[in-house]
Structure 1
Amino acid sequence: MKIFTSIKEKLFGKALETPALETATTNTILPGDVETAQTDTASTPSIESEVAATLGGANAEPASMRRPDPVDVAVILDEAAKQNGQKLNWRHSIVDMMKALGMDASLQERQELAEELGYTGDKNDSARMNIWLHKALLKELAANGGKVPPELLD
């Protein structure tokens, strides 16, 4: 899915950047602090809680790999359309959406994107394909972490 991947990267690029890893602080016990370390067991997790935490998140992505919130596609595309300088209606036009993102919106590119997204209709009927493609692209973005206005997903 090279064109879809390109669209997703343009939209989600900032949200997909891996946040800087936080440096963990370690509790170093100095020779004079042994008594304090031995009496301060209330803050040390039990083995049971560590096992439960490990097993509970065994299949989860590391926190550094997760996006905390969905990417607001409408906000990003509104801003991209505004900065483009042309009057673009990305909410209703796949061509305008691609132009807003600075992409090639040629029929050939749209046909290739339609193929990537599973369009089975006549790719030479560009009007019908464009309508399908616009909805399919928004649904695919929503399925991949995008927050898309519900009225655009109907």
Structure 2
Amino acid sequence: MSIFGKIKDAIFGKAKAKPAPQPTQTAQRPAQPQAQGQQPSAMPQMTPAAGAPAAQQQPVDVDEVLADLATDKGGDFNYKSSIVDLMKLLDLDSSLANRKELAEELGYTGARDGSAEMNIWLHKAVMKKLEANGGKVSADLRD
């Protein structure tokens, strides 16, 4: 699995591990009398509740997942701007070798030497790619 895939799975998997809110049940409408000579329907008709949202997958709130992880771990993680701390927070290997591999995956064209420039670029690119894959990422994490 790719390094970005591991990052995405770690964040999106934590979001899915939270219990989803249960849908509310709506009262059933009373049965309508049938007109004489009509056959009852074999399948009951289902009508959506008024104002019920369509069944869509909500975007994963990346900020919330990362903040919850940081709180749970109690460490001093600078995950909002540091790719190394982000990877450590997610229990991923943040070694230079892995960051070089991530840089290659994401198309970094500069020197893959672990410089601040490379690491800042990686963090921004990871956040953009998380957003492109269904994550809700605040400007605080993107910039």
TM-score, normalising length: structure 1: 0.65
Taking the TM superposition and a 5 Å limit, the aligned residue runs for 1:79-118 are: 79-118=68-107
Q: Are residues 1:137 and 2:138 paired?
A: no
State the 4+ residue runs in structure 1 displaced beyond 6 angstroms. Answer: none
Residue type of the alignment partner of 1:147: K
1:14 CA displacement: 4.9
Instruction: Answer yes or no: is the 8 Å Cα contact 2:15–2:65 preserved in 1.
Output: no
Q: 1:12 aligns to what?
A: 12
Higher helix share: 1
Q: 2:108 aligns to what?
A: 119
Superposition RMSD on alpha carbons, in Å?
Answer: 2.9
**Structure 2: distance between partners of 1:91 and 1:117:** 19
CA 1:125–1:89: 2 relative to 1, 3 Å:
closer
Unpaired runs of 5+ residues, structure 1, are 20-34, 45-62
Aligned length: 117
Q: Deviations over 1:8-57 (max 9, x none)?
A: 1111115568x9xxxxxxxxxxxxxxx786266xx87xxxxxxxxxxxxx
TM-score, normalising length: structure 2: 0.70
CA 1:107–1:37: 2 relative to 1, 3 Å:
farther
Identical counterparts, % of pairs? 52
Instruction: Answer yes or no: is the 8 Å Cα contact 1:107–1:126 preserved in 2.
Output: no
Unpaired runs of 5+ residues, structure 2, are 21-35, 46-54
Q: 1:26 aligns to what?
A: none
**Structure 1: distance between partners of 2:123 and 2:132:** 14
Instruction: Answer yes or no: is the 8 Å Cα contact 1:81–1:100 preserved in 2.
Output: yes
Q: 1:38 aligns to what?
A: 39
